[in-house]
Amino acid sequence: MKYNIEFKGFAPQREIQKLIRELITRMEKKTKGFSLDVVFLRLFAEVNSVRTLYQASITLELPEKTLATKEERHDLHETIRHAFAEIERQLEAHKATWRGEHVWKRRARQEELHKQR
């Protein structure tokens, strides 16, 4: 998986860089079903120094779909973790749709109703 990380208004600490690497590694494991050349993750983090408010936006480009999220919090660790959690949730929903799970549930329910009749 290719990725691009940008910071605006601050230089990231080693802890933040390590956290981001761990979360990207976890995301790579979840996107194994897709071609590695096609998947692209973009992380942009910035700080509003007046309010000490951090913003993180993540864009994950997949075949036929682009997932995006934006989080805003006072703690940088929390901001990045919540942004990655949201993009992972969206990825799981996309994979479920891609596999056709919404149809599976309906078929099971239809068979159950036919058995009751």
Q: Provide the whole-model pTM.
A: 0.84
Question: At 22, which helix (H) or strand (E)?
Answer: helix 14-30
Q: What is the pLDDT of residue 104?
A: 67
Joined tokens for residue 58: 């993540």
Q: What is the pLDDT of residue 5?
A: 96
pLDDT digits (tens, 9 = 90+) for 54-105: 999 999 999 889 999 999 999 999 999 999 999 999 999 998 888 877 666 6
Q: What is the pLDDT of residue 33?
A: 84
Mean pLDDT across the chain = 90
Q: What is the pLDDT of residue 114?
A: 76
Instruction: Quote the CA–CA distance of 29 and 27 in Å, as a whole number.
Output: 5
pLDDT of residue 32 exceeding 80: yes
Q: Give the CATH number of the domain where residue 65 resides.
A: 3.30.160.100
Q: What is the pLDDT of residue 20?
A: 95
> Dihedral (C-alpha) 17, 19, 20, 23: value to the nearest 10 degrees?
160
Q: What is the pLDDT of residue 50?
A: 85
- Where in the sequence is the domain holding 105, given as residue range(s)? 2-116
How would residue 111 be classed by pLDDT, with cut points 50, 70 and 90?
confident
Instruction: Quote the CA–CA distance of 19 and 22 in Å, as a whole number.
Output: 5
Domain count, the chain: 1
Q: What is the pLDDT of residue 69?
A: 97
